[in-house]
A and B are shown apart, each in its own frame.
Chain A
Amino acid sequence: MYETIPADQLNTVGKKSGRVDAYEKVTGHAPYVSDMIMQGMLYAAVKQSPHARARIVKIDTKKAKALPGVRAVVTGEELQYRLGLYVVDKDILAKTEVRHFGEAVAAVAADSPLIAQKAIKLIEVEYEVLEPVLHPLKALEKDAPLVHPALGDYSYMEAAFTPVPGTNIANHTKIRKGDVEKAFAQAEWIIERQYTNPSVQHVPMETHVAIVRWQPNDEVTIWSSAQSPYTLRNLFCTAMKLPHRNVRVIVPYVGGGFGGKAGIGIEPLVAVLSRLAGGRPVKLMATREQEFSLLPCRSQLTYRIKTGIAADGKIVGQHMTMYWDAGAYADYAVNVTRASAYSAAGPYEIPNAWVDAYTIYTNKPFGTAYRGFGHVEFHWGIERHMDLVAKVIGMDPVEFRRKNTLKPGSHTLTGELIRTSTGSIDKCLDAACKSINYGKLTKAEKDRQKRTGMKIGKGVACFHKAPAMPPFTATAVILKMNEDGTVTANLTLTDYGQGSYTAIAQIIAERLGFPLERVKVAFDCDTDRDPYDWQTVASKGLILSGNAAILAAEDLLACAYDTASQALRCNKIDLAHDADKIYIKHHPESAVTFRQMAVGYAFPNGNGIGGPIIGVGRYIAQGLSHLDKATGQGNPALDWTYGAHGMIIEVNEKTGEYNILKVGSAFDVGKVVNPDSVRGQAIGGMMQGLGTAVCEGYIYDKEGHLLNPSFTDNKIPTAVDMPLEIECMVVETPQIDGPYGARGVGEHPMIGVAAALGNALQQSTGAEITHMPMRYEDVWRAIRHIEPVDNWITKSPFGSCKSSPQMQGHHPELG
């Protein structure tokens, strides 16, 4: 929409401006759910399983119930509700069997957090410990215990997913394009490798928190740190069998989400406690430790890629198998699997492709959406693979990429035609290469090598991502004019830090021709008052809500023009407006101000016309389709955002230690709406990606106990971990159906960072690392060609972290 307006004719879009929420946040005034206290509020606490898999023999809550100040105690057997976003597989509290370490088995609500904690300790649970299924490949073996023996009885979203009853496979997505075997027969080289990454934690600074009041008349109010108020309400009503009108979800400021707060979480549990306590509001705020085990993480991935390459370096066929470790529940992991399958090759044209992507149940904390929605994980594989293939065929990795990138006229894995307006991966790749002086060392870099004794390496990685969402995803914006001619926008796309509301305000100001200060986007999303939005995920917010905002602004203007044409007694077609008034084009002195019309226009004699000026903008994704279940062919992508990272590092080859000297990243964002917001997303995402590349990951022992559920043992990057230099670049190839040509870039900066690091390490030292994160010891091993170890399920919490069963049984076959 409006993609053709030249930049010099835009007043607000594309211009620097502060964030609309900055004042509230820098002063500490912004209210988060964690800050809220209600009259008569009780505090909840959760009893969690110490085992990965166990039968619940008995739960004794008598002592807890007898503790003074305890108002409600609940166990799974008392609750007959099952939850699930795509596969309905999760009880609110474990019933008969616990499926992962940290799973909730009982909960209490009490007068104070301290009493609630004491009560939890008084709940006695007797378990019969069972052998857990921890490794996703082990879970596929014929005799593997089933995490969900009743999988065949669960309801699920049939249009998109395919569970396999009688196995641990929660979903199997297939993509079939061309004839892979024929292509392999004609290939000069066939190269097969396998890449892995562990589960990681989102780490929003505000842990999950909810307050719920379930009144005796079954009217429920939920205050939550949720990303997606309407999806939360929908899933809640479905599980609880309540009419949607009975349930109100309110989301104020949220302290980060990154996908971890996208679906439904602790709200149903808090709700049943409130109901048991007679309708008193109950609050539960997850501890940091619970954030790692009670709440979901990002799924582990094992990705196997077999590529056929022709003599000229063109990829002729590719066979891809993804083993996604869902953990104990399917949640978003089935959709991560689906989205990853249709993007699996990265931004490259693969004429003949075969993808099998499996979501596999194991007895571990479950996976959910995480910034990038699978793309961070599989791009680690595909972009390392590009460099490893290039090495084998004796071609420069960037040249090999350029030969194979998607270009106008290319077709994606699902058969979608790439057009010029789709964006340009080549321009992003060129910019990233230029930013790091790819392929050579500058004089300063050579001097630095001499001075430090460390070896400098350079690597690049490309990526693409489209929003993973239903093809009919919808949203709406309501725009209301206030008495003074300012406007307030209501929507339920949430802004938990991304800067979406600032961008939406800029888009509205641009379309209305108003100064930005006259536009407010209201925080505190409220499903009783604000219009529908599917979910705040997938980097779809800017396009969908941005378009809805434009349509709302148009509608508001139409409403104002109606009133003005009556007030001025003229045809609407003869009217124009500026920031303050609507006037007759050929008699500009005949005008009526927005302020005069805002809540209805009054003639001098008191007669009124019009009424309050509002605008409604409704938008739904267009032209998208479900994927064919047998072949994966179809049109799933609202838009593709392309990008590339270039990285310069220096490595101490003796120790494996390395420093990151520079990251230069380029993204084809279509059109920059707010330069500082784009840069903030770019750098923040890059650093989050670097965290998972360098140090983050869940470590389990052989019994499936999570060993590092804390910041002490699961580090995230601090300021000292920043690259010495960061360069953020944008390419602007307008998206035809994007607001002013813009497309989403919230998740993308995180994708490909790890592979760029791995590629730079390989370029400088020859180290062929195929698993992330790349800790110094991993680099040290790889430099020495010492077999990598499976670090993520260890024999004991102490010692070497070496374990079995090992993935090294699959040796790469080099053609």
Chain B
Amino acid sequence: MKITVTINGQKYQRDVQESQTLLGFLRADVGLTGTKGGCGAGECGACTVIMNGEAVNSCLVLAVEADGATLQTIEGETVKGKLSPVQDAFARHHAVQCGFCTPGMIMTVKDLLARNPKPSRDEVIHGIEGNFCRCTGYQQIIEAVLDATGQLKESDKEGLKYV
């Protein structure tokens, strides 16, 4: 089936199999591999993209369901090579280790901030609870989001303590 999708402002037209997921479509048919697959069952959030203004697990959406949709993926987050404030904060705060959950995590944060531009720590925690990160333990991710939204308290900046 032929579908037309706008991804990061660019139009793509592809013939897809009915069983193809949006995740598979983005990675295999369009060639945008920034979006990762971690479980194929909507549990881990690695494949999060923004579809018509809402974060979705792209492994649970069929490509044909995205016909006519407007999508944002991690590849659209950087403008002319310049990191977005969220990306920049992730980089500065070591909110990235293996990096495999990072694209999905950043998409989830983008979605959270679109709805709630100044989330509290608790709101950030609940905002990202659908995204697994096995490396960081989440703390530096939360600090990055608070910093990106200008809310990181001095007490949060303490970091490592030498005793």
Contacts and interface: CB of A to CB of B under 8 A. Distances in A.
Nearest to B128: A719
A28 B97 contact: no
B57 interface: no
Given A26-B87, A27-B34, A255 B98 contact: yes
A127 to B, nearest CB: 27
A497 B90 CA distance: 14
A431 interface: yes
A589 interface: no
Contact of B98 (A204, A688, A731): A204
B118 interface: no
A159 interface: no
Given A19-B91, A26-B83, A288-B39, A730 B163 contact: yes
Contacts of B146: none
B138 A687 contact: yes
B88 to A, nearest CB: 8
Contacts of A30: 99
A719 B125 contact: yes
Contacts of B142: 719
Interface string A651-695: 000000000000000100000100111111011111110000000
Interface residues of B, number: 61
B127 to A, nearest CB: 8
A682 B97 CA distance: 12
A730 B99 contact: no
Interface in B2-27: 17, 19, 27
Interface of B: 17, 19, 27-28, 33-41, 43-44, 46, 73-75, 77-78, 83, 87-88, 90-94, 96-103, 106, 124-126, 128-142, 159-163
Interface string A331-346: 0000000000000000
A678 to B, nearest CB: 6
Given A687-B138, A688-B134, 12 more contacts: A22-B90, A26-B99, A27-B87, A205-B46, A256-B135, A288-B38, A499-B94, A499-B97, A711-B43, A719-B129, A722-B137, A732-B162
B34 A679 contact: no
A277 to B, nearest CB: 20
Nearest to A711: B43
A205 B94 contact: no
B93 A676 contact: yes
B63 to A, nearest CB: 14
Most buried by A among B34, B101, B135: B135
B160 A731 contact: no
A35 B161 CA distance: 39
A413 interface: no
A720 B159 contact: no
B136 A683 contact: yes
B94 to A, nearest CB: 4
A452 interface: no
Contact of A205 (B34, B38, B73, B87): B38
Most buried by B among A22, A31, A683, A726: A22
A114 B106 CA distance: 30
Contacts of A450: none
27 contacts: A26-B87, A27-B75, A27-B77, A28-B73, A28-B75, A28-B77, A32-B100, A34-B37, A205-B44, A206-B38, A253-B98, A256-B98, A256-B135, A288-B40, A497-B97, A498-B97, A679-B160, A680-B137, A683-B138, A683-B139, A684-B137, A719-B128, A720-B125, A722-B125, A722-B138, A726-B139, A728-B160
Contacts of B161: 727-730
Interface in A205-247: 205-207
Given A28-B74, A732-B162, A205 B91 contact: no
Interface string A16-42: 001101111111111110110100000
Nearest to A496: B98
Nearest to A202: B134
Given A710-B41, A718-B129, A254 B160 contact: no
B12 to A, nearest CB: 17
Nearest to B32: A28
B83 A256 contact: no
Contacts of A427: 163
A25 B43 contact: no
Contacts of A207: 38
Contacts of A27: 34, 74-75, 77-78, 83, 87
Contact of A26 (B27, B28, B91, B160): B91
Contacts of A730: 160-163
B13 to A, nearest CB: 21
Interface string A481-519: 000000000000000111100000000000000000000
A207 B74 CA distance: 20
A562 to B, nearest CB: 39
B73 A680 contact: no
Contact of A206 (B36, B75, B131): B36
B90 A711 contact: no
Shortest 7 CB-CB contacts between residues of A and residues of B = A28-B34, A255-B100, A25-B99, A497-B98, A687-B137, A497-B97, A28-B74
A294 B64 CA distance: 32
Contact of A718 (B19, B27, B87, B130): B130
A32 B37 CA distance: 12
A677 B99 CA distance: 14
A684 B41 contact: no
Contact of B136 (A34, A288, A680, A731): A680
Interface in A29-64: 29-32, 34-35, 37
Contacts of A722: 125, 137-139
A48 B38 CA distance: 21
Contacts of B141: 719
A288 B37 CA distance: 10
A37 B140 CA distance: 33
Contacts of B83: 23, 26-27
Interface string A520-549: 000000000000000000000000000000
A25 B103 CA distance: 8
A801 interface: no
A497 B135 contact: yes
B160 A22 contact: no
Contacts of A31: 33
Given A27-B77, A288-B40, A677-B94, A718 B34 contact: no
Contacts of B94: 18-19, 22, 499, 676-677, 679-680
Most buried by B among A253, A255, A676: A255
Given A28-B103, A718-B132, A729-B162, A205 B98 contact: yes
Given A427-B163, A688-B137, A722-B137, A23 B91 contact: yes
A711 B33 CA distance: 23
A366 interface: no
B102 A25 contact: yes
Contacts of A682: 160
Contacts of B128: 718-719
Nearest to B84: A26
Nearest to A428: B163
Contacts of A728: 159-161
Contacts of B101: 205
Nearest to A257: B98
Contact of B41 (A32, A498, A687, A711): A711
Contact of B44 (A257, A496, A711, A726): A711
B74 A206 contact: no
A685 B41 CA distance: 26
Nearest to B27: A35
B6 to A, nearest CB: 18
Contacts of B132: 203, 205, 711, 716, 718
A605 interface: no
A258 interface: yes
A712 interface: yes
Nearest to B76: A28
Interface string A427-441: 100010000000000
